[in-house]
């Protein structure tokens, strides 16, 4: 304890006075800057920890001398020895080096490199416990932001998949030479070190088979592979997307230079082995930046798009078009959204953050009118095109941010009685919340992919709406990602 703390403490005792703001500030400063014992810890140290729970990114949380520690690969209830990888004034990161007491929920990960690259961070946790974790993350976020009445919110058990594997319809793998050999996979977390992924249990098997054969062909034809260090070579990334309903598949080669040697022979061989591939495209990305896609996409052979079907609707997916990554759970997600919205034939529905219009179009038959918006112009073109393809005449999509477009519509006299929002991880813009609270549609459903911003947004939303329930849905088994449908009812 330093002198200042002593004075404060004694002062409080003697005079029974509350500490001044200044004193509080000083104490807080001391708390974070003043070394507790734990800050003697250095990178590489090994410390014993008891794991209390899982944090929002799937790491095990334990406390060392009251400092929070995030330990990759550790599970609640376990006693571990953690190897420290990072020390911050307020928290410590580490990874498991030894497990002294093992959780009964620990399972052997299917993928050998689980934990090394993103996308499998919970593969060592039994699936029922993964589902419980996802509900708990929502509970943790609500406890942090405390929207009024949060203790009474009904958190329904997470809806999982019967087979929580092989669900990802798209693989977007970097291609590099590792020790002279062609490799295709993902980067190690937080680095640009490629990990070759010969198998990947969450990917649709066809995407993996195609990539493995493609890698052999790149080797056979000695294709020029991109080198990040020297910014030379051509092939950077291979993208394979399969449409779950039709099995139509698209392969995209993303290249640094326009020419890709022997691409015709490679396409011949791939097409002969995989009749599912109906579209071969090339995307040109000469930039040094780490953005994956460039602006120019060319057709190499076959169609420009693949056809996917969802809930009886057809969608043409171009190489860049956004489409949910887990088609089976997307049907579940939309069914839950439909249930929460309780549409009637006279309803005007807003589909905010619409993407290519999948939610709104799947609900259009049950409403009088659907209007949606998205801030990506090509997504809006696709959404309107998708309405046309499916003969839907009462849905219209407009380019622009939700926070600008909704107030504009309201100003022009549009009266929605139902709204669904499906924002990205940043959650809702404050101006959009204001517009929703002012127009107060009777039914409001919030589809969230980030429990933190959801809990934050609910603080304002509950001024006018009751939370009837929060239904978590597992869109990404084996990962820590959490998706939820929140049913809101006007007070
Ligand atoms: N509802 C769609 C897409 C949801 S993803 C589906 O189920 O497939 C979130 C979408 O929000 C993305 O398409 C993104 O382009 C869009 N977006 C991001 N910020 C936005 C904003 N401020 N206003 C409107 N749309 C936005």
Name all domains of the chain by residue range, CATH numbers in brackets: 3-101 (2.40.50.140), 131-162+326-490 (3.40.50.150), 170-304 (2.40.50.1070)
Rounded percentage of the chain residues whose pLDDT exceeds 90: 84
Q: What is the DSSP string of 120-178?
A: -TTTTB-HHHHHHHHHHHHHHHHHHH--TTGGG--EEEEE--SS-SS-BSEEEEEEEEE
User: Which ligand 1 atom is nearest residue 351's CA?
Assistant: 1
- Hey, whose CA ends up nearest to atom 10 of ligand 1? 353
Distance CA 242, CA 248 (A): 6
Mean pLDDT of all residues in 181-190 = 92
> Alpha helix locations (H) across 55-126?
none
User: Which ligand 1 atom is nearest residue 376's CA?
Assistant: 15
User: Which ligand 1 atom is nearest residue 379's CA?
Assistant: 13
pLDDT above 60 (res 421)? yes
Local confidence band at 37 (pLDDT 50, 70, 90 cut-offs): low
User: Which ligand 1 atom is nearest residue 324's CA?
Assistant: 8
Q: What pLDDT shows up at residue 26?
A: 56
How far apart, in Å, are the Cα atoms of 357 and each of 332, 346, 412, 453? 16, 20, 23, 23
Of 424, 426, 449, 485, the residue with max ligand 1 atoms within 8 A of its CB, to mutate for a pocket test, comes to 424
Q: What pLDDT shows up at residue 171?
A: 97
Q: What pLDDT shows up at residue 4?
A: 36
69 is catalytic: no
> Alpha helix locations (H) across 146-289?
205-220, 263-273
Q: Is 105 helix (H, G, I), strand (E, B) or coil?
A: coil
Q: What pLDDT shows up at residue 117?
A: 84
Q: β-pairing, 67-72 with 79-87?
A: unpaired
- Hey, whose CA ends up nearest to atom 6 of ligand 1? 355
User: Which ligand 1 atom is nearest residue 355's CA?
Assistant: 13
Q: Is 263 helix (H, G, I), strand (E, B) or coil?
A: helix
pLDDT above 50 (res 199)? yes
Binding site listing: 324, 353, 374, 422
Among candidate residues 192, 197, 232, 195, the one with its CA nearest the CA of residue 214: 197
Q: What pLDDT shows up at residue 22?
A: 61
- Hey, whose CA ends up nearest to atom 22 of ligand 1? 401
Q: Which two tokens stand for residue 466?
A: 């009751």
CA angle 87, 91, 93 (to 5 degrees): 55
Sheet containing strand 67-72, edge to edge, reads 46-50, 79-87, 91-101, 67-72, 60-64, 53-54
Q: Is 40 left (phi over 0), alpha (psi -120 to 50) or beta?
A: alpha
Distance CA 309, CA 317 (A): 10
pLDDT above 60 (res 9)? no
Mind listing the pLDDT tens digit for each residue in 121-164? 899 999 999 999 999 999 999 999 999 999 999 999 999 999 99
pLDDT above 60 (res 13)? no
CA of 358 to the centre of ligand 1 (A): 11
CA of 251 to the centre of ligand 1 (A): 25
Whether the CB-CB separation of 205 and 276 falls below 8 Å is answered with: no
CA angle 190, 193, 194 (to 5 degrees): 115
Whether the CB-CB separation of 373 and 402 falls below 8 Å is answered with: yes
Mind listing the pLDDT tens digit for each residue in 265-300? 999 999 999 999 999 999 999 999 989 999 999 999
CA dihedral 126, 132, 133, 137 (to 10 degrees): 170
- Hey, whose CA ends up nearest to atom 12 of ligand 1? 355
- Hey, whose CA ends up nearest to atom 21 of ligand 1? 401
Among candidate residues 293, 298, 324, the one with its CA nearest the CA of residue 311: 324
DSSP state of 198: S
Q: What pLDDT shows up at residue 130?
A: 97
Local confidence band at 11 (pLDDT 50, 70, 90 cut-offs): very low
Q: Where are the beta strands (DSSP E) in 114-166?
A: 155-159
Q: What pLDDT shows up at residue 378?
A: 86
Local confidence band at 39 (pLDDT 50, 70, 90 cut-offs): low
For helices 451-461 and 127-145, the axis angle rounded to 10 degrees is: 40
| Mean of per-residue pLDDT scores for the chain | 91
Binding site listing for S-adenosyl-L-methionine: 324, 353, 374, 422
CA of 401 to the centre of ligand 1 (A): 9
CA of 125 to the centre of ligand 1 (A): 31
Q: Is 181 helix (H, G, I), strand (E, B) or coil?
A: strand
Local confidence band at 112 (pLDDT 50, 70, 90 cut-offs): confident
CB environment 263-280: b (16+ within 10 A), e (fewer) = beebbebbbeebebbbbb
Q: Which two tokens stand for residue 20?
A: 């001044």
CA of 256 to the centre of ligand 1 (A): 29
Which of the residues 99, 195, 335, 449 is marked catalytic?
449
Local confidence band at 8 (pLDDT 50, 70, 90 cut-offs): very low
CA of 310 to the centre of ligand 1 (A): 19
pLDDT above 70 (res 17)? no
Whether the CB-CB separation of 417 and 443 falls below 8 Å is answered with: yes
Whether the CB-CB separation of 324 and 475 falls below 8 Å is answered with: yes
Q: What pLDDT shows up at residue 189?
A: 81
How far apart, in Å, are the Cα atoms of 245 and each of 279, 308, 327? 16, 6, 9
For helices 21-33 and 3-15, the axis angle rounded to 10 degrees is: 140
Q: Which two tokens stand for residue 76?
A: 């609640």
The residues, any chain, with a CB within 8 Å of residue 336's CB and separated by 6 or more, are 159, 471, 473, 485
The residues, any chain, with a CB within 8 Å of residue 27's CB and separated by 6 or more, are 5, 8, 19
pLDDT above 70 (res 325)? yes
Around ligand 1, the residues with Cβ closer than 6 Å are 322, 324, 353-355, 358-359, 373-376, 379, 401-403, 422-424, 429
- Hey, whose CA ends up nearest to atom 11 of ligand 1? 353
Taking the chain, what is the end-to-end CA distance rounded to the nearest angstrom? 51
CA of 421 to the centre of ligand 1 (A): 9
Local confidence band at 118 (pLDDT 50, 70, 90 cut-offs): confident
Mind listing the pLDDT tens digit for each residue in 223-253? 999 999 999 999 999 999 999 999 999 999 9
Whether the CB-CB separation of 65 and 38 falls below 8 Å is answered with: yes
Q: What pLDDT shows up at residue 170?
A: 97
Whether the CB-CB separation of 96 and 73 falls below 8 Å is answered with: yes
Rg (CA), the chain: 26
Of 423, 433, 435, 445, the residue with max ligand 1 atoms within 8 A of its CB, to mutate for a pocket test, comes to 423
Whole-prediction pTM: 0.87
- Hey, whose CA ends up nearest to atom 3 of ligand 1? 355
């Amino acid at each position: 304890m330093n002198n200042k703390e002593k004075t404060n403490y004694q002062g409080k005792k003697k005079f029974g006075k509350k500490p001044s703001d200044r004193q509080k500030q000083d104490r807080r400063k001391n708390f974070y800057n003043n070394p507790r014992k734990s800050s003697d810890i250095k990178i590489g140290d090994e410390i014993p920890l008891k794991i209390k729970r899982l944090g929002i990114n799937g790491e095990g949380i334990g406390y060392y001398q009251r400092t929070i520690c995030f330990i990759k690969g550790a599970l609640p209830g376990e006693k571990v020895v953690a190897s420290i990888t990072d020390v911050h004034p307020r928290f410590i990161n580490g990874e498991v080096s030894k497990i002294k007491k093992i959780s009964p929920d620990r399972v052997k990960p299917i993928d050998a490199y689980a934990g090394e690259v993103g996308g499998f961070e919970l593969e060592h946790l039994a699936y029922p416990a993964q589902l419980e974790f996802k509900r708990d993350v929502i509970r943790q976020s609500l406890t942090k932001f405390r929207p009024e009445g949060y203790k009474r919110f009904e958190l329904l058990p997470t809806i999982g998949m019967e087979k929580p594997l092989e669900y990802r319809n798209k693989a977007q793998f970097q291609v590099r030479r590792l020790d002279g050999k062609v490799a295709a996979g993902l980067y190690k977390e937080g680095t640009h070190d490629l990990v070759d992924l010969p198998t990947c249990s969450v990917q649709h098997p066809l995407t993996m088979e195609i990539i493995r054969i493609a890698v052999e062909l790149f080797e056979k034809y000695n294709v020029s592979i991109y080198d990040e260090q020297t910014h030379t070579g051509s092939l950077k990334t291979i993208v394979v997307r399969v449409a779950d309903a039709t099995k139509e598949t698209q392969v995209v080669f993303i290249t640094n230079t326009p020419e890709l040697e022997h691409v015709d022979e490679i396409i011949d061989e791939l097409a002969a082995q995989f009749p599912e591939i109906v579209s071969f495209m090339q995307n040109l990305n000469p930039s040094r930046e780490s953005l994956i896609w460039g602006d120019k996409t060319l057709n190499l052979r076959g169609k420009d798009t693949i056809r996917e079907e969802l809930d009886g609707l057809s969608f043409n997916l171009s190489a860049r078009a956004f489409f949910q990554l887990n088609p089976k759970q997307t049907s579940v997600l939309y069914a839950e959204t439909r249930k929460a919205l309780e549409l009637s034939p006279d309803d005007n529905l807003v589909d905010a953050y619409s993407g290519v219009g999948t939610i709104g179009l799947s609900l259009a038959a049950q409403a009088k009118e659907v209007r949606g918006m998205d801030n990506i112009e090509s997504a809006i073109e696709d959404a309107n095109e998708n309405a046309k393809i499916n003969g839907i005449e009462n849905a219209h999509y407009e380019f622009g941010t939700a926070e600008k477009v909704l107030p504009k519509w309201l100003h022009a006299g549009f009266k929605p009685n139902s709204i669904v929002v499906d924002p990205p991880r940043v959650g809702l813009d404050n101006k959009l919340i204001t517009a929703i609270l002012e127009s107060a549609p009777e039914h409001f459903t919030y589809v969230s992919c980030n429990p933190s911003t959801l809990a934050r947004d609910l603080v304002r939303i509950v001024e006018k709406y009751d939370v009837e329930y929060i239904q978590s849905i597992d869109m990404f088994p084996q990962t820590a990602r959490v998706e939820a449908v929140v049913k809101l009812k006007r007070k």
